[in-house]
């Protein structure tokens, strides 16, 4: 810990142990934080488990750190948000039981060992004590260290996947991320769980949460392939299949995301939405909508993805059929599209010239604005009204297509193109104000 953690994190952990001693509790760093520490991978998401009153501990630690404490007494959990936004998750040690397969768990307070027993894989059951007299002591009740060395994902007990089938999706994610393999016994239990139809009992929102995490990984398609091997994708929806075309689309989507990331532009795209659009966009509209309904994401996301899928179909057809693509036309087609859908469109284009015009829009064209403003039009004697929008849009398109470059060019353009609304024209009617 002293060699691998930043000084600030070390100070936070030491302080947590001191506060735990003061309030008479035991506190442990747990889960992925400890796992990645042993794997020598950076993970600064600090999760603490408290044996005792987790809320009282969180409030005491929050006072010492001048942090905002958001607690949920019914669950014995709290989140500390430090002044700079850094967060620490705190939970009271607990055990869980499931009333039926795939149900959400019922929770009771318990010991650190029982808290770790409820977790998904042995590699996530490691804990480090932070109390002063045992600071840095590693707890490994279930052989997690050996499994880290063997690069093996092993479940804690035989009903693990039955109790929570989303653990199968997590297993595939960890396999690809860490280069691990699911233990043979665990893999057979995962397949059995799928064949029992338990994934079909899961709420779509829980599947969406896991899918979002998958699509945010560095190699999302490899994870989907593994899930396909286990029969998970078909269990989620019979039409959720993979193929060479989708694999190629994912590769190109990844390349486009990397390219856009190097631009350091704001806002950043939601990479998981880009991949979700890539996954669903290869299917007929009715199939894509059916899969989306099964996933049942939050209404806002569902509406956004549905709109983006429809727009992608239109834009793909427009770009592929266009013989001429002036910058103003590209702007009109893309300006109201989401960043994610534009990146997917760019990845879809087979022709380099089409990818280039889309890339030009993202890098420069979408920021183009005419020099003249409403005050300039008023100075020309043009009365305010809807005509201003028409004039400014026309100026924008003319600038995009290179027909005007300077302020004088824009003034001449307005006088020529909109002469009928200038003072003294025969069509200018009504009293001046």
Residues 120 and 158 both lie in one domain: no
pLDDT tops 80 at residue 110: no
Which of 7-16, 37-46, 79-88, 109-118 is least confident? 109-118
Same domain, 143 and 171: no
Same domain? 101 vs 210 = no
Q: To which H or E segment does residue 373 belong? A: none
> Residue 2: what pLDDT?
85
103 occurs within a structural domain: yes
Check residue 108 and give its pLDDT.
55
Evaluate whether residue 258 is within a structural domain.
Answer: no
Percent of the chain with pLDDT over 70: 94
Q: Which of 352, 367, 382 is the last residue of a domain?
A: 367
- Domain for residue 428, yes or no? no
Answer yes or no: is 156 within a domain: yes
Q: What is the mean pLDDT of residues 347-356?
A: 95
Q: Note the pLDDT tens digit of each residue in 52-104.
A: 899 999 999 999 999 999 999 888 899 999 999 999 999 999 876 555 665 55
Query: pLDDT digits over 132-168, tens only?
Result: 999 999 999 999 999 999 999 999 999 999 999 999 9
In terms of domains, do 273 and 307 share one?
Answer: yes
- The pLDDT of residue 73: 86
Cβ distance 427 to 421 under 8 Å? yes
**What span, in angstroms and rounded, lies between the C-alpha atoms of 235 and 231?**
6
The reported pTM is: 0.89
pLDDT in tens, 379-404: 999 999 999 999 999 999 999 999 99
Instruction: Please state the domain count of the chain.
Output: 4
Is residue 53 domain-resident? Answer: yes
Domain boundary among 367, 386, 410: 367
In 10 A of CB 232, how many CB atoms?
24
Rounded to whole angstroms, the Cα distance separating 12 from 8 reads 6
- 251 lies in a domain? no
* Residue 249: pLDDT band with limits 50, 70, 90: very high
CA distance 307 to 92: 42
Same domain, 105 and 158: no
Q: Looking at per-residue confidence, does 178 or 105 come out higher? A: 178
Whether residue 430 lies inside any domain: the answer is: no
By the 8 A CB rule, do 106 and 98 touch? yes
Q: Tell me, yes or no, whether 94 lies in a domain.
A: yes
Range of the domain at 413: 374-421
């Amino acid at each position: 810990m002293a060699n691998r953690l930043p000084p600030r994190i070390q100070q936070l952990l030491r302080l947590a142990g001191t506060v735990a001693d003061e309030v008479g509790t035991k506190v442990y760093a747990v889960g992925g934080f400890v796992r990645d520490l042993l794997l020598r991978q950076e993970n600064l998401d600090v999760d603490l488990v408290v044996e005792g009153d987790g809320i009282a501990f969180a409030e005491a630690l929050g006072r010492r750190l001048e942090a905002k404490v958001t607690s949920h007494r019914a669950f014995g959990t709290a989140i500390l948000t430090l002044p700079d936004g850094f967060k620490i998750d705190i939970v009271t040690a607990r055990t869980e039981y499931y009333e039926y397969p795939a149900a959400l768990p019922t929770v009771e307070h318990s010991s650190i060992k029982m808290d770790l027993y409820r977790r998904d894989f042995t590699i996530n059951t490691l804990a480090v004590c932070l109390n002063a007299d045992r600071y840095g002591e590693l707890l490994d009740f279930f052989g997690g260290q050996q499994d880290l060395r063997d690069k093996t994902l092993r479940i804690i007990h035989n009903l693990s996947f039955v109790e929570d089938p989303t653990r199968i999706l997590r297993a595939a994610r960890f396999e690809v991320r860490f280069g691990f393999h699911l233990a043979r016994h665990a893999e057979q239990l995962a397949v059995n769980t799928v064949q029992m139809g338990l994934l079909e009992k899961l709420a779509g929102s829980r599947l969406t949460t896991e899918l979002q995490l998958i699509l945010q990984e560095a190699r999302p398609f490899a994870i989907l392939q593994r899930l396909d091997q286990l029969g998970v994708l078909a269990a989620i929806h019979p039409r959720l299949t993979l193929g060479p075309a989708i694999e190629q689309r994912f590769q190109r989507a990844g390349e486009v995301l990397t390219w856009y990331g190097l631009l350091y532009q704001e806002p950043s795209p939601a990479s998981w939405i880009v991949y979700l659009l890539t996954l669903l966009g290869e299917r007929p509209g009715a199939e894509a909508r059916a899969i989306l309904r099964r996933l049942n994401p939050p209404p806002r996301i569902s509406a956004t993805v549905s709109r983006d899928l429809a727009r992608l179909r239109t834009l793909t057809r427009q770009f592929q059929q266009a013989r001429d693509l002036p910058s103003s036309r590209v702007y009109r087609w893309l300006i109201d599209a989401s960043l994610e859908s534009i990146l997917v469109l760019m990845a879809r284009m087979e022709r380099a010239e089409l990818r280039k015009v889309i890339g030009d829009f993202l890098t420069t064209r979408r920021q183009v604005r005419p020099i003249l403003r409403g005050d300039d039009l008023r100075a020309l004697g043009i009365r305010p009204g809807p005509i201003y929008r028409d004039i400014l849009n026309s100026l924008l398109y003319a600038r995009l297509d290179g027909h005007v470059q300077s302020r004088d060019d824009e003034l001449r353009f307005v006088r020529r193109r909109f002469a009928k609304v200038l003072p003294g024209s025969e069509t200018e009617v009504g009293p001046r104000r």
